[in-house]
Amino acid sequence: MKGNPGSPDAAKVTPAREAIIRVRGLHTAFGPQVVHDNLNLDVWKGEVLGIVGGSGTGKSVLLRTIVGLIRPVRGEIQVLGTDVINGPESDRRAVEKQWGVAFQDGALFSSLTVLQNVMAPMREHLRLSHGLMKALGELKISLVGLPPLSCGKFPSELSGGMRKRAALARALALDPKIVFLDEPTAGLDPIGAAAYDDLIGELQRSLGLTVFMVTHDLDSLYAICDRVAVLAEKRVLVEGPVDMMATVDHPWVQEYFTGPRARAATAAD
């Protein structure tokens, strides 16, 4: 597990504790169904933050709201100092280039090859020659551990683990400062999930990324997360290092972080 906030290792991750994402007073609803009510959250620059919570607590909704796919009823979201809810559209478009998103199912374009998928954000946001975009796309694909032959394959020709890596390569296409991951190890076998965790950890350290990761995978929390934020009761109930969670006096938190799977993850760590 990565170091606690007070440890030397954690100090290297967030030396100035700069909030790269700030969420204040977020209220998200779908008709009469309220998902978030006065939710507040800070994401520190350079950390891997794990977002956990029971089914229906709005983990993926929070991610999609931050990146602009869902508009909240009210609240403030700042990313890299930019108001992405109420600020000018031009400012929002500029900051969108600074993040990448990999959804749970990959969300790759089925009619495009892996390389074409990775090049898609470059075509939209950059003015580069085809040759340069192709070279950069091949570099991103290599960076996530996919073989060169995968460049010409379509998503349907890839395994689930390879599709997740291809989606990650696309998320990295614009050299983002922030990467959002939605259940990145869901559906992977234990070996594949551990390898993906290792990859995220390596990329975070080598590229200086901030990682916002929605997950239910306890092994991932213990392996690569600097902090955990628990969603419950329509807000962030508690946040802190994963090994602190067992001390939180809340039924769901206790069951999740002290149950048999949590004990196994702790032992493995």
Which has the closest alpha carbon to 164: 181, 178, 176, 179? 181
In terms of pLDDT, which residue wins out, 104 or 266?
104
Q: Are residues 265 and 218 in contact, defined by beta-carbon separation less than 8 angstroms?
A: yes
Question: Which pLDDT band holds residue 8 (cuts at 50, 70, 90)?
Answer: very low
208 pLDDT above the threshold of 70: yes
238 pLDDT above the threshold of 50: yes
78 pLDDT above the threshold of 80: yes
For 153-181, write each residue's pLDDT tens digit: 999 999 989 999 999 999 999 999 999 99
6 pLDDT above the threshold of 50: no
Mean pLDDT for 130-158 is: 95
Calculate ∠ Cα 253-265-39, nearest 5°: 30
92 pLDDT above the threshold of 50: yes
Mean pLDDT for 32-59 is: 95
The whole-chain average pLDDT of the chain stands at 89
Distance CA 267, CA 244 (A): 16
- % of the chain with per-residue pLDDT over 70: 90
Question: Which pLDDT band holds residue 16 (cuts at 50, 70, 90)?
Answer: low
The residues facing 29 across adjacent strands are 34
pLDDT given at position 49 = 97
Question: Which pLDDT band holds residue 139 (cuts at 50, 70, 90)?
Answer: very high
12 pLDDT above the threshold of 50: no
In order of their start, the domains of the chain are 46-68+88-268 (3.40.50.300)
pLDDT given at position 105 = 73
Question: Which pLDDT band holds residue 13 (cuts at 50, 70, 90)?
Answer: very low
pLDDT given at position 35 = 96
118 pLDDT above the threshold of 90: yes
pLDDT given at position 180 = 97
What are the distances in angstroms from CA 32 to CA 29, 120, 146?
7, 37, 44
- % of the chain with per-residue pLDDT over 90: 74
Mean pLDDT for 24-35 is: 96
Handedness of CA 243, 232, 40, 85 (dihedral sign): positive
DSSP letters, 14-27, are: STT--EEEEEEEEE
Mean pLDDT for 194-211 is: 95
Query: What's the whole-model pTM score?
Result: 0.88
pLDDT given at position 2 = 52
pLDDT given at position 260 = 61
* Residue 209, C-beta contacts closer than 8 angstroms, at least 6 positions apart: 46, 176, 177, 178, 179, 203
7 pLDDT above the threshold of 90: no
